Amino acid sequence: METPREKYIIMEEPDKEVAAEFIRKNWRHYVILIFAFSSVKYEGRAASELSPSDHIIILKPDGTLLVHGPEKREPINWQPPGSILTSFVEKGKLVIRSRRYKPRETVIIVCESPYVLLAMNTRSGEFRMFRSESQMVDYVMRNPSFIEEGFVPVIKEYRTRFGIIDLFGRDKHNNIVICEFKRRVADVQDVAQLALYVDAIQRNSNCKVRGFLIAPGITDMALIALKEKNLEFRKLNPKSIIGGENAV
């Protein structure tokens, strides 16, 4: 049996008894990813069943369990940190069971055909957040001339039926100004989001409504779309906002 000192271990079409023993002995040491034809049963505050199909199963040393399908980022089934994992073979099938006790919940995964088991001896790295979008908004609140001379911020997180506008303000001519912030390079979808806000506010306003997209960069296609919709762009690097200086 491999030890947790190995950086990674790959088992292709693993024997079910071998896979079950490996999971039992090593789930506290490895992040284990299993690609298998499986079904899932949940019992606890409610009850559910996931019909047999190809699923990605992730087991983490803190007890987290995730079952993913081919769509969306959220897991179909999951158990939080602190859950207890075990594995065994029953009626010729690999069974993975996760239990938590407060509240009492159980997830049972039955793998008819485990295709691949990948165990990774990972270590937690230091997570550093280089300024969030809310900090970008705060920077503009403190430095309104960044948008343009005469810009006056009015309200943050202005709620509409189409979503939340990051920053709502007025220009020197008392036109409405809508600012949408992105901490990554802006793309066409971001332009569409801003245009939706502008159009929605314009339908209920007698004055001109202007839209600004604020981000560290913008794709060529997004810049073309921005100009076609008469919207504007301001470059703001969130990594460089230090005491309200060195923003671009």
141 lies in the same domain as 204? yes
138 lies in the same domain as 228? yes
150 lies in the same domain as 185? yes
Q: Is residue 16 in some structural domain? A: yes
- pLDDT grade for 45, boundaries at 50, 70 and 90: confident
Give the separation between CA 18 and CA 1, rounded to whole angstroms: 9
pTM as predicted? 0.56
What is the dihedral sign for C-alpha 239, 240, 243, 245? negative
94 lies in the same domain as 185? no
In three state form, how does the secondary structure of the chain look?
A: CCCCCCCEEEEECCCHHHHHHHHHHHCCCCEEEEEEEEEEEEECCCEEEEEEEEEEEEECCCCCEEEECCCCCCCCEEECCCCEEEEEEECCEEEEEEEEECCEEEEEEEEEEEEEEEEECCCCCCCCCCCCHHHHHHHHHHCHHHCCCCCEEEEEEEEECCEEEEEEEECCCCCEEEEEECCCCECHHHHHHHHHHHHHHHHCCCCCEEEEEEECCECHHHHHHHHHCCCEEEECCHHHCECCECCC
Residue 16: which CATH number?
2.70.180.20
Backbone angles phi, psi at 131, to 5 degrees: 75, 130
27 lies in the same domain as 90? yes
Mean pLDDT of the 170-189 span: 94
Q: Is residue 212 in some structural domain? A: yes
Q: Are 67 and 50 in contact (CB under 8 A)?
A: yes
181 lies in the same domain as 141? yes
Q: Is residue 142 in some structural domain? A: yes
Lowest-pLDDT range of 129-133, 137-141, 157-161, 236-240: 129-133
Where residue 101 falls (left for φ over 0; alpha for ψ -120 to 50; beta otherwise) is: alpha
Q: Is residue 247 in some structural domain? A: no
Domain count of the chain? 2
Q: Is residue 105 in some structural domain? A: yes
Last residue in a domain, options 90, 120, 150 = 120
204 lies in the same domain as 109? no
149 lies in the same domain as 108? no
Last residue in a domain, options 120, 141, 176 = 120
Q: What pLDDT is recorded for position 1?
A: 47
Q: Is residue 183 in some structural domain? A: yes
236 lies in the same domain as 163? yes
24 lies in the same domain as 106? yes
17 lies in the same domain as 112? yes
Q: Is residue 125 in some structural domain? A: no
Q: Is residue 126 in some structural domain? A: no
Last residue in a domain, options 71, 94, 120 = 120
Q: What is the extent of the structural domain holding 39? A: 8-120
List, for residues 189-227, the tens digit of each pLDDT value: 999 999 999 999 999 888 999 999 999 999 999 999 999
93 lies in the same domain as 160? no
